[in-house]
Amino acid sequence: MNTCHFTGWIPFAPETRYTPSGRKIICFAARVSDDHGAESILRFQMEGDPVAPIPSELAPGRVVEIEAAATTQAVRRPDGRTVSRLVFHVTRLAAQGRRGRHAEPAMQLALF
């Protein structure tokens, strides 16, 4: 696995959905800049505890750091094509600039 590190800010509130089986999926975005100054919005989804609140680190306007192990996953589309998707297994999610308070949940993020 490859290790990834993202630092960016949350531009809008995360969205919560539930699968038919009851799994909680949290969708959110992070605005990031690359080494050349070009900005992008990365969209993520993560599986969460069905009864736990959304992590406070994902509040709009917050700057976050995400460390994750990345893998690729083949996804079969309805039109028959197979595409690759990056999947991130988060090892650390933290609000930047806050000392001593890190959330280290067992969660999975997928770039889509």
Each domain of the chain, given as residue ranges in start order, spans: 2-111
Nearest to 30 by CA among 1, 4, 2, 66: 66
Top-confidence range, 4-13, 41-50, 65-74, 103-112 = 4-13
What is the rounded CA–CA span in Å between residue 8 and residue 3? 17
Across the chain, what does the average pLDDT equal? 79
Span 16-36, average pLDDT = 86
Nearest to 47 by CA among 68, 19, 13: 19
32-83 per-position pLDDT tens digit: 887 788 888 887 777 778 888 888 888 999 999 888 777 788 889 999 999 9
Span 96-100, average pLDDT = 53
Look at domain 2-111 and name its CATH class: mainly beta
Q: State the pLDDT at residue 26.
A: 84
Q: Say whether pTM exceeds 0.95.
A: no
Query: Which helix (H) or strand (E) segment is 73 a member of?
Result: strand 63-76
Nearest to 23 by CA among 51, 56, 43, 54: 51
pLDDT at 28 over 90: no
pLDDT at 1 over 60: no
Q: State the pLDDT at residue 111.
A: 53
Helices (H), the chain: none
